[in-house]
Amino acid sequence: MIINSPYFVAAIFFIIAFVYSVVGLGGGSSYTAMMAIMGFSALAIPMVSLTLNLLVTSIGSFNFIRKKHLRWRLLTPFIVTSIPMSYYGGSLHLSKEFFYWVLLVSLLFVAVRIYFWKVTTLTLNMNEFMKVSVSLVAGSILGLVAGIAGIGGGIYLVPLIILLGLGSAKQAAACGVVFIWINSLVGLLSRLQYNPMELGVFPYMVAAVLVGATMGSYMGAVRYSAKKMEKILGIIVIVAIIALSRKLFIL
């Protein structure tokens, strides 16, 4: 079948890597959803997704840092608490159904953020201590979700930074891509202790996401605005939600 063709898989993953990397994301949620739809094992999916996330965000991190969009002072509190929680989440042995539900909720969050979230910032009178406290708590939650679902957590972090008015869209994208890289690495190291990596069409995926991420992160850091690609990203997410929902409800 065409859906099982390595070339078809590579084409889909190229599109995902390109679109996600434009807005400072790794694409882990959509990689994971696509692999679930294609019948990959629940143990292999997070490991492959985290590896692809790591590759995509390595390129994205370089491009956004090179263009001086990253604010380490903004990102550090999120990282401090996300690292141990991401490692812990990656070590958990959860049922396939629970894993799919976490993934589905992640995708729904992205769709709501793109199509229905009209208020882009909140006017909050927070001092520096409050900002750091919120960042520490949010980082621990995002790290846990990232480790469990095999995603980087950037789909939550980027809109959170914008919503709370902590940084600009470019700064949020830069923080998101580095946050995803760190949590993907930690989650992958945790999972590799318990499960071997299943390769399959993995080499095709790697080639596709490397090319897609190189092109997308360059466009995101240099040319495109984040809003310009969000609608396309939304279409990919909606398709993944529909397909994953069908698979989840017939399990």
Task: Please write the tens of the pLDDT for every residue from 62-117.
Answer: 877 887 878 888 889 999 999 898 888 877 777 777 777 877 887 787 777 777 76
Asked whether residue 5 carries a pLDDT value surpassing 80, the answer given is no
Q: What is the percent of the chain with per-residue pLDDT over 90, rounded to a whole number?
A: 4
- Could you report the per-residue pLDDT of 137-157, keeping only the tens digit for each? 988 988 888 777 777 777 778
pLDDT (0 to 100) of residue 38: 78
Asked whether residue 206 carries a pLDDT value surpassing 50, the answer given is yes
Q: What is the dihedral of CA 230, 233, 238, 244, to 10 degrees?
A: -140
pLDDT (0 to 100) of residue 197: 61
pTM above 0.75, yes or no: no
Q: How remote is the C-alpha of 197 from its chain's centroid?
A: 20
Asked whether residue 2 carries a pLDDT value surpassing 60, the answer given is no
